[in-house]
Amino acid sequence: MTTSDYEKLGVFYLGKEFNPTTRTRTDDLLLYDSKDLVTHAVCVGMTGSGKTGLCLGLLEEAAIDGIPALIIDPKGDLSNLLLTFPNLTPEDFRPWINEDDAGKKGLSPDEFAAQQAALWSKGLGQWDQDGQRIARLKSAAEFVVYTPGSSAGVPVSVLKSFGAPPQELIDDAELFRERVSSTATSLLGLMGIDADPIRSREHILLSALLSRAWSGAGGGAGRDVTLEMLIQQIQTPPMDKLGVMSLESVFPAKERFQLAMALNNLVASPGFAAWLEGEPLDIQSMLYTPAGKPRHAIFSIAHLSDAERMFFVALLLNQTLGWVRTQSGTSSLRAVVYMDEIAGYFPPTANPPSKQPLLTLMKQARAFGVGIVLATQNPVDLDYKGLANAGTWFIGRLQTERDKARVLDGLEGAAGAAGSRFNRAEMDRLLSSLGPRVFVMNNVHEDHPVVMETRWCLSYLRGPLTRQQIKQLMDPRKRAAAAAADRPAIVTAAEASASAPAAVALVAVTSGTVASGASSTRPVLPAEIPQFFVPCRALAPGARLELRPSLLGMARVYYSDTRLNIDQEVPLALLTPLTRGPVPACWDDAEPVGLGENDLERDGPAGASFADLPPAATLPKSYTAWQKDFADTIFKTAKLELFKSPAFKLTSRQSEGEREFRLRLSQLIRESRDQQKDSLRQKYAPKLGTLQERMRRAQAAVEVQKQQSTGAKLQAAVSIGAAVLGALMGRKAVSATSVRSAGTAMGRVGRTMRESGDVSRAQDTVESVSRALADLNAEFERELAGADTGPDASTMELEAATLKPKKTNIKVRALVLAWMPWAISPGGEATRAW
C-alpha cells in the first residue's frame, strides 16, 4: 500500500478494518469521509482504550486536509500535536520524553529517547507512513497552544468574550437568550456564585445588563460590555425595574454592592490579570493565520480550577456559536470543534453554562459546515438526548456494563434521529469484543457499523505536557509575534493624544487606565455613599474631560430674631476637594457654590476619566464624620450680615446688598408719602365738600337775586312812565286815579332798591365762601408739602446687623461625593468645566 491509496482530499485515514472474530487487522483501509463529520462525532472509551490516539489521528487528518480546528484540552495531552519530528531522530525526541517512564524501564533518558524514535519509525512504517507525512502535517497547518489565565502558552484575553454578539445571533431571540444566560452563569460561577437563572437575583440582574447593552435597549446600537462597565452598572443600573417590580424592592442597593464588590475583587485579583492579556478570543483569527493558513488552536485548560475551566469553556463555545451564525451554509466540512473529557460540561440532568451553547452547536452547526467532536471515558455522565445529534460514534473498550448500556442508548437515539435501522444486539456483541486501539465506528451515513484499529499517530504521544514544556513550545512563536508587531501593545499618552480625533482622548490599555493615572471607569463604592455628577459645559477642542472627587455639602440654615423682626431660612452649599493628603477633606478650605439638589446628575458624561479617589472616600463611616464636620463648620463660620434702618425699624433680607436695601427703603418712603397724602385728602375732603356746597348755594342765590332785581327795576320803570305819561297827557285837573298810579309807581321803586341790596349781600356771601376755600386749599397744600419733606433713603443712616445660627437651626440636607468636571488641555493644564 502506498500513500496514494489514502492521501486523498476529503478523506481521513483513521486506520484499518479489524476482524473481531479472528481478532486480526485486515488490509482494508478505514477511510472516513470528512463531510460525514459535519453531522458530528462522539468518541467514548475507558483509559487505555486508545481514545486519545484515535482523536489525535482524526485531528491530524483534518490538518493535512486544510481543515482548521478549535481544540479544548482539559488534561494537557492534546498539545502532543506539536510534537512532530519528520527526521525521527533520538535528538528530536529527547527534550520531550517522560523521564519517569525511562526510569521505570531502567533506561537512561538518552536511551529511552532512542527507543522512542525507533518505536515511532517502526509504528509509522507498519501503517504505511513516514517522516515525509509528518513534514506534510507540519506544513499543512499552524499549531498553537493557548493558555487562558496563564502566560505559559499564548495568553488569551477574555474581554472580547463580553463583546456584543453578531447581529445574526441577536436577531435570533432564542439564541440571544441562551448567550446572555450562559455568559451570566459562567461569570457568576467564576465568582463562586452558583446561580439559578430563574430564581437568582444576581443572575437576573447580570442578564438584564448584558441583554440591554448587547441589544441596544434603551436607545442606540448594541455595544460591547466590559467588566468595569458591569461593576459600575451593578451598583447603578440603567433601569428602575426588574420585571414589573422596582429594582430596589427586588435587589436593594446595599446588596447589589456586595455583588459589585465580588466582581471587583475578581478583577482586582493578581491572577485575573492574566485573563485580560494576550490575543483576543476571536474565532476567525484563531482558526486562520493572517496569511489564511488553517490553524489548530489548542486551548490547554489543565492549569485552571473547575470554575475557571467552566467559565472559559462557556465563553469559547458562545464565541464559536456567534461565529458560526455569521458563516454561509455548506454541506462540506469547514472547521472542527473538538473537546476531550466532555464529562461535566454536557451532563444529562444539570445545566452548567457550557451545556446550552454546546447543545445549540450540536443542533445547528452542521448547517454551516462545523463538525463537533466530543470525547469521554465516562459515558454515563453525558446527555444522550443531546448526543443523539451525533452521526458518528467511535466506541472503544468500556469499563462497565452500565457504560455499555448508556452507549447503546445513545447509538439507538442517533439511529432514530437519522431514520436508520439499529441492531442493538449486534452492537452489544461487537462492543464486548474490543481491545486496545480497536473501536466500533457507527456512522449513520454507512450501511452498517465497522470495527477498526486506529493507525499510528504522526505526533509523538508523550502524555500531558507541563506548563514549562508548553512555554518552551510557544516561546519562539511569541518572540516572533512581538518582533513582527509594528508598535508596542501599550500606547503611550503622547501617542494616544496625537492619534485621537475626538475631544476626549483616552488611552486604551488592558488595565483600563488613562495616561494621566486616572481610571477610565467609575469607582465601585458602597451603596451608602451617594455619588453625583455636576454637569459639564462644552470642552475646548483637543481637551479631555477628567472628573475629580469633591465633597458637596448642602444645608438649610434658619435665622430668627424677634427684636430685629428676622425669620429667614437660607440655603447653603459648600464644596471641598478630596485629596490623598493627611486630611482628605478640609472644610476650612471649602468654597460656597451655587449648586442645588436639582443641579446634580446620577450619571456621568461618556468618555470621561476619573481622578484618584482617596481611600478614606471609599468608607461610609468617613462620610458620617465629614457630615458632622460640615455642620460644625456651618455653626462656626455661617453668619447672616444684614443692614438695619432705625428710622423704619427694618432689616435687609439675606440676599439684599446695601444698594438693594436702600432702593427698597426708597420705595417704602414713596409708599408712606402717598399714604400720608391720601390721609390728608381724606381729612380735608369733608371741609372742602361743605365749602364747595356753600359756594354753590351762594352763587345760585346771586343769580336769583340778580333776576329778581332786574324784574323789579323793569316794573318800577313801567309804572312811573305810565304815571308820568298820564299826568302829562291827562286833563289839567289831576284826577284821583292819576294820583293813585303815581303812588303805586313810587312804591315799586322802593322795592327795586331793596332787591338790589339783596344781590349785593349774596355776592358778599360768594366772596366770603371763596376766601374760606382759598384758606382751606392753602392749609392743605402746606400739609402736603410737609409730607414731601420726608427722609432720603440714599443718605439715610444704616446700621449693621449680624446673626449667628443656633446648632438646632442647622439642617444638613445632603453630603455627597460630587464628581466635578475639569477640562485637561493637551499641555496638561486643568481648568474648571462647570
- Stretch 32-48: mean pLDDT: 92
Q: Specify the residue for cell string 452542521.
A: 366
- Grid coordinates of 220: 442606540
Reduced to 3 states (helix: H, G, I; strand: E, B; else coil), residue 547 is strand
- Grid coordinates of 437: 486501539
Residue range 106-119, pLDDT digits in tens? 999 999 999 999 99
Reduced to 3 states (helix: H, G, I; strand: E, B; else coil), residue 358 is helix
Closest CA to 802 of 648, 654, 630: 654
Q: Specify the residue for cell string 493578581.
A: 270
Band of the pLDDT at 489, cuts 50, 70, 90?
Answer: very low
Separation of alpha carbons 513 and 508, rounded Å: 7
Q: Please give the pLDDT value at position 495.
A: 36
Band of the pLDDT at 141, cuts 50, 70, 90?
Answer: very high
Most confident of 63-67, 383-387, 583-587, 803-807: 63-67
Q: Which residues contact 55 (CB under 8 A, 6 or more apart)?
A: 43, 338, 340, 373, 375
- Stretch 540-561: mean pLDDT: 89
Q: Mean pLDDT across the chain, nearest whole number?
A: 82
Q: Please give the pLDDT value at position 793.
A: 74
- Stretch 151-155: mean pLDDT: 93
Q: Is the predicted pLDDT of residue 585 greater than 70, yes or no?
A: yes
Q: Which is more confidently placed, 738 or 764?
A: 764
Reduced to 3 states (helix: H, G, I; strand: E, B; else coil), residue 369 is coil
Q: Please give the pLDDT value at position 515.
A: 38
Burial, 816: exposed, middle or buried (Cβ in 10 Å; 0-12, 13-18, 19+)? middle
Q: Specify the residue for cell string 472628573.
A: 547
- Grid coordinates of 690: 361743605
- pLDDT-above-70 percentage for the chain: 87
Please report, for the chain, the start and end positions of each structural domain, with discontinuous segments joined by +.
499-639+809-832, 662-788
Q: Which residues contact 665 (CB under 8 A, 6 or more apart)?
A: 645, 648, 650, 793, 796
Q: Is the predicted pLDDT of residue 90 greater than 70, yes or no?
A: yes
Band of the pLDDT at 690, cuts 50, 70, 90?
Answer: confident
Q: Please give the pLDDT value at position 752.
A: 55
Residue range 267-314, pLDDT digits in tens? 888 778 888 888 988 899 999 999 889 999 999 999 999 988 998 999
Report phi then psi at 281, rounded to 5: -80, 70
Q: Which is more confidently placed, 730 or 168?
A: 168
- Grid coordinates of 351: 445545566
Separation of alpha carbons 197 and 185, rounded Å: 7
CA neighbours within 13 Å on the CB side: how many for 387?
A: 30
Please state whether beta strands 335-339 and 69-73 pair in parallel, antiparallel, or not at all (unpaired): parallel
Q: Which of 5-19, 61-75, 543-557, 660-674 has the lowest mean pLDDT?
A: 660-674
Band of the pLDDT at 498, cuts 50, 70, 90?
Answer: very low
Band of the pLDDT at 408, cuts 50, 70, 90?
Answer: confident
CA neighbours within 13 Å on the CB side: how many for 416?
A: 12
Q: Is the predicted pLDDT of residue 16 greater than 90, yes or no?
A: yes
- Grid coordinates of 278: 494576550
Q: Which is more confidently placed, 603 or 759?
A: 603
The CA-based dihedral angle spanning residues 589, 591, 592, 593, taken in that order and rounded to the nearest 10 degrees: -140
Q: Please give the pLDDT value at position 716.
A: 55
Q: Please give the pLDDT value at position 660.
A: 82
Separation of alpha carbons 336 and 333, rounded Å: 8
Q: Please give the pLDDT value at position 509.
A: 30
What number of H helices and E strands is found in the chain? 22, 25
| 792 to 345, 665, 668: CA distances (angstroms) | 94, 9, 11
Q: Specify the residue for cell string 332787591.
A: 755
- Stretch 219-243: mean pLDDT: 82
Q: Is the predicted pLDDT of residue 350 greater than 70, yes or no?
A: yes
Q: Which residues contact 721 (CB under 8 A, 6 or more apart)?
A: none
Q: Specify the residue for cell string 446628575.
A: 601
- Stretch 410-437: mean pLDDT: 78
Q: Is the predicted pLDDT of residue 152 greater than 70, yes or no?
A: yes
Q: Please give the pLDDT value at position 320.
A: 92
Q: Is the predicted pLDDT of residue 744 greater than 60, yes or no?
A: no
Q: Specify the residue for cell string 476637594.
A: 577
Band of the pLDDT at 490, cuts 50, 70, 90?
Answer: very low
Q: Is the predicted pLDDT of residue 447 greater than 70, yes or no?
A: yes
State in words which class domain 662-788 has. mainly alpha
Please state whether beta strands 450-454 and 335-339 pair in parallel, antiparallel, or not at all (unpaired): unpaired
Please tell me what DSSP assigns to residue 343: T
Q: Please give the pLDDT value at position 2.
A: 62
Q: Please give the pLDDT value at position 661.
A: 78
- Stretch 196-202: mean pLDDT: 87
- How many CB atoms within 10 Å of residue 574? 23
Q: Euclidean distance between the first and final Cα of the chain, in Å? A: 84
Q: Which is more confidently placed, 661 or 396?
A: 396
Residue range 710-723, pLDDT digits in tens? 766 556 555 545 54
Separation of alpha carbons 6 and 12, rounded Å: 8
- Stretch 35-47: mean pLDDT: 92
* pTM, to two decimals: 0.66
CA 102 to chain centre: 59
Q: Specify the residue for cell string 496569511.
A: 291
Do residues 338 and 373 make contact, with C-beta atoms less than 8 angstroms apart? yes
The conformational region for residue 654 under phi > 0 = left, psi -120 to 50 = alpha, else beta, is alpha
Q: Is the predicted pLDDT of residue 18 greater than 50, yes or no?
A: yes
- pLDDT-above-90 percentage for the chain: 33
Report phi then psi at 606, rounded to 5: -70, 145
Strand order in the sheet with 438-443: 24-33, 11-19, 450-454, 438-443, 392-395, 41-44, 370-376, 335-339, 69-73, 295-300, 142-146
Residue range 753-803, pLDDT digits in tens? 565 666 777 777 778 878 887 877 787 777 767 666 667 777 777 877 777
